[in-house]
Amino acid sequence: MQIRKTRDERKKQLYRYVRHSYIENGIMPSVRELADYMKYGSTKSVVLLLRELERDGLIRVHKGKSRGVEILNVTPDDRAFLEVKEVSINVAGHEIYDNENILSTHFLPKSLFYKTGELVAVKFSGSSMRDVGILDGDNVIVKKQTTALNGQIVLAMIDEEIATIKRYYKSDNGVVRLHSENEDMKDIYPEKLDILGLVVGLVRNNIQ
């Protein structure tokens, strides 16, 4: 009985660690990392414990993947991070949010963003928004929505062809103006404009 109890405790210890790693970081440990955490000399013992957790309905193991453990009873509200899909803006129309246009996934702390709603990331290029700190190569975080207030920075589609990030203004007579935060660039007055989202932050990987 004592051996069984010890094994149950180890199984609970492993599950708590896997669950905590996923909730806090969004990244599953590898089997080798789990073996190191449990102080096992080989991965065989961890694999056996993972199989038991899978039979208990707590996890799913995807064979052939280095980090192939999936927690089954975690909801998005449980997690301390957001899964933010990065999409390309080099597409026409509203295909920007299509599943086929997803480039990668970023795991970002919830505490960084005060806005609720669905977020996506887009790679910014150029210098048109440099004066507000949005630089070439930044991953700009966008909250998906179709409206904006005067002065907000938006992701917008011009004439169903060109996606851009600019500061949005609309006059009392309905004239839309997109303002670049770069004194060397002129404002844009599009004939047709669709707002795709509101800029709520950015992630910069390359600090110079």
Would residue 135 count as lying in a domain? yes
Confidence bin at 94 (pLDDT 50/70/90): low
Mean pLDDT of 74-102: 75
**Boundary-marking domain end, from 18, 38, 72:** 72
Q: In the predicted model, is pLDDT for residue 27 greater than 80? A: no
pLDDT, position 24: 75
**Looking at the 3D structure of the chain, how many domains does it have?**
2
Task: Give the predicted TM-score (pTM) of the model.
Answer: 0.65
**Whether residue 100 is found in the same domain as residue 196:** yes
Please identify which residue in the block is written with the tokens 């932050």: 201
Q: In the predicted model, is pLDDT for residue 77 greater than 70? A: no
pLDDT, position 181: 96
Confidence bin at 161 (pLDDT 50/70/90): confident
> What angle, rounded to 10 degrees, do the helices at 44-55 and 2-25 form?
80
**Whether residue 33 is found in the same domain as residue 123:** no
> Do 165 and 154 contact (CB within 8 A), yes or no?
yes
Return the structure tokens found at 121: 């990331």
Confidence bin at 90 (pLDDT 50/70/90): confident
**Boundary-marking domain end, from 49, 72, 95:** 72
Q: How far is CA 121 from the centre of its chain?
A: 7
**Whether residue 92 is found in the same domain as residue 118:** yes
Mean pLDDT of 70-80: 74
Residues annotated as catalytic are 128, 166
Interstrand relation of 69-71 and 59-61 (parallel, antiparallel or unpaired): antiparallel
Would residue 199 count as lying in a domain? yes
Q: Which residues fall within 8 angstroms of residue 112, CB to CB, at 6 or more apart?
A: 201
The DSSP bridge partners found for residue 71 are 59
Confidence bin at 2 (pLDDT 50/70/90): very low
Would residue 100 count as lying in a domain? yes
Return the structure tokens found at 38: 């449990």
**Whether residue 31 is found in the same domain as residue 113:** no
Q: Which domain holds residue 98?
A: 81-203
We report the CATH number of the domain holding residue 141 as: 2.10.109.10
Cα distance between residue 9 and residue 185, in whole Å: 64
Neighbours of 132 (CB within 10 A): 13
pLDDT mean across residues, the chain: 86
Cα distance between residue 29 and residue 49, in whole Å: 14
Q: pLDDT above 90 covers what percent of the chain?
A: 47
Which stretch of DSSP H or E encloses residue 121?
strand 119-123
**Whether residue 167 is found in the same domain as residue 191:** yes
**Whether residue 65 is found in the same domain as residue 85:** no
pLDDT, position 66: 76
**Whether residue 97 is found in the same domain as residue 63:** no
**Whether residue 127 is found in the same domain as residue 40:** no
Would residue 208 count as lying in a domain? no
Cα distance between residue 165 and residue 140, in whole Å: 9
**Boundary-marking domain end, from 55, 72, 89:** 72
We report the CATH number of the domain holding residue 39 as: 1.10.10.10
Q: pLDDT above 70 covers what percent of the chain?
A: 90
pLDDT digits (tens, 9 = 90+) for 34-70: 999 999 988 999 999 999 999 999 888 888 777 888 8
Mean pLDDT of 148-162: 93
